[in-house]
Amino acid sequence: MAWVREVCKRIGMVLMIAGSCDGGRGRRTPSVIVRCERGGLYAGKKVPGDDDQRPGKRSTGSKKCNCPFKLKGTKEHKDDEKAEWKLDVYSGIHNHNLFENLHEHSYAGRLSKEQTSLVHTLKKAMVKPRAILRLLKENDPSNVTGMKTVYNTISKLNFNELSGRSQLQLLFARLKEDEYLSYHRSNELNPITDLLWIHPKCIKLAQSYPYIFVIDCTYKTNRYRLPFLEIVGFTCTNMTFSIAFEYLDHEKTENFEWVLRCLMEAMISCPWPNCIVTDRDLALMKVVANVYPSSHHLLCRWHVNKNILANYKKMFTKDITKWKQFQSAFSALIERNTIEEFNEDWEAMERTFVGYPSAITYVANSWLDPYKEKLASVWTIKCTHFGTYTSSRVEGAHRRMKRDVHNSTGTFVDLYTKVNNQIVEQYNDIKASFEVSKNTYEHTFKTLIYNELRGSISKFALQLLKVEVDNAKLLQPSDMGCSSSEQLTVYHVAMNFMSMLL
């Protein structure tokens, strides 16, 4: 077959196997029938002359034109493994012209075992399909493989035939091999329904920086359509790190509670987070309050604004300026730092938008009355959140992960491989940021007041501290110099501020 296909490729023909016999039934002689790929007749439902360019229909066609070309190969001796094959030409003519080139011919563009192995290796290394195809053609100039063949080969990677539950079992076994801390649960129907895993390096970072946890689900990461939950935190160098990952069977209260209980068990040696930030997922919000009752729970302001935009911008279509005023007024309202200012702004907002009662009612009933303690600065300023008002950190982690995933047709093992690579890169970047903070002194901080801090706290913390020091200096009269006692006062202000960052 290899010889036949090579000869046909040289002269512009593409052959396919029409039938074969291995000689296993009775005493029949092993044989194979080969015909032109344009042999046979189209047997579908399309009627010649019908227009298939209708809305929602793809334009389709067929190569088949009942080409009579046919060969038959027969093994000369059935029981002799070294016996040769005889090739008979049943019909040596075509009813069409030979092909000028063999591009986009699926049989001619099939990959060999070595090429398929190369595609799998490059895909695991996160090489893009187009780059893989370019390398195949560089290695073999006569290769006529197309992008469709490369995509189909990639889609079969990592035990494509397994079901979603079997894939979860396969991933669980892989996590054990890689020494991940993992948890799973099952029911009477499925061996694994939910699966959570944490990298040992992530545990160390979470134990060092347990102050803020940001939790969110993302979708379209796997062909089985299971939601993917990610929990992240951030270091003193302002770099985001992943804490835990989880595949959820459903986004229900019992699923979220199981996740947070497992997380608490994994981090039993470190304190509870000061603050947890989520969107308004009612099931998740309920679980956070039950599992971490002493942690402050904040709602993502970005999701709140998007929700208001989706529901009530249409009411202001006749006056876009009024809508912008409404947005600005709401943003200013939730940033007020005293209850008096908050109440005054809310009353002013009610008077200004008296012509839009449903919008005011929605903001009051859906957000301010039930969730103002989780949303407005006058209440959230009482907890240590380091300016984390949104879930943008975890959204950014989702975006980086999906940038490597490329599509939503991969398996659980596909995603795990990419996430594992990202964790290693992330950890290396964080270690590098620590070294920079320890050994690189910016000229801005080469003054007396920062002598005891340089190299002991991060550059990011020094930048925040500088803002506080500058604000403290502005409180002094401009015509007065900064005496040593005043420097000491500023230093104490700075150290009080730093007690939250260390």
Domain identity same for 76 and 213:
no
Please tell me whether residues 296 and 307 are part of one structural domain: no
pTM (predicted TM-score) = 0.66
Residue 426 in domain: no
Residue 186 within any structural domain of the chain: yes
Query: 354 with 245, same domain?
Result: no
pLDDT in tens, 57-110: 666 777 788 898 898 888 887 777 778 888 898 888 888 887 777 766 666 677
Q: Is residue 60 part of a domain?
A: yes
Is residue 486 domain-shared with residue 341, that is, in the same domain? no
The token pair at 12 is 């512009």
Average pLDDT over residues 355-371: 90
Domain region containing 180: 164-300+390-412
Q: Of 209-218, 345-354, 482-491, give the lowest mean pLDDT range.
A: 482-491
Instruction: Kindly state whether residues 240 and 307 are assigned to the same domain.
Output: no
In a domain? residue 432: no
Please tell me the least confidently modeled range out of 151-160, 202-211, 314-323, 423-432. Answer: 151-160
Question: What CATH number should be reported for the domain holding residue 189?
Answer: 3.30.420
Confidence class of residue 239 from pLDDT cuts 50, 70 and 90? Answer: very high
Domain identity same for 277 and 185:
yes
| Total domains present in the chain | 5
Tell whether the model's pLDDT for residue 127 goes beyond 90. no
Nearest to 407 by CA among 167, 118, 134, 123: 123
Same domain for 395 and 267: yes
Phi (first) and psi of residue 168, to 5 degrees: -65, -40
Does residue 423 lie in a domain region? no
Residue whose C-alpha is closest to residue 14's, from 112, 96, 114: 96
User: What does the pLDDT average to over 395-414?
Assistant: 81
Cα separation, 44 vs 46, whole angstroms: 6
Please report whether residue 286 resides in a domain.
yes
In b/e form, how buried is each residue of 455-484, taking b as 16+ CB within 10 angstroms? eebbbbbbebbbeebeebeeeeeeeeeeee
**Which phi-psi region, left, alpha or beta, contains residue 40 (left: φ > 0; alpha: ψ -120 to 50)?**
left
448-493 pLDDT, tens digit per residue, is: 888 888 888 888 888 888 888 888 878 765 544 444 444 545 455 5
Considering the domain architecture, whether residues 345 and 207 belong to the same structural domain is answered as: no
**pLDDT value of residue 315:** 82
Is the Cβ–Cβ distance between 167 and 190 less than 8 Å? no
| Whether the Cβ atoms of residue 215 and residue 394 lie closer than 8 Å to each other | yes
| Predicted local confidence at residue 329, as pLDDT | 92
Q: Is 91 helix (H, G, I), strand (E, B) or coil?
A: strand
140 and 240: one domain?
no
In this predicted structure, which of 58-62, 147-151, 362-366, 457-461 has the lowest mean pLDDT? 58-62
Which pLDDT does position 492 carry in this prediction? Answer: 53
Angle between helices 412-439 and 392-405 (to 10 degrees): 120
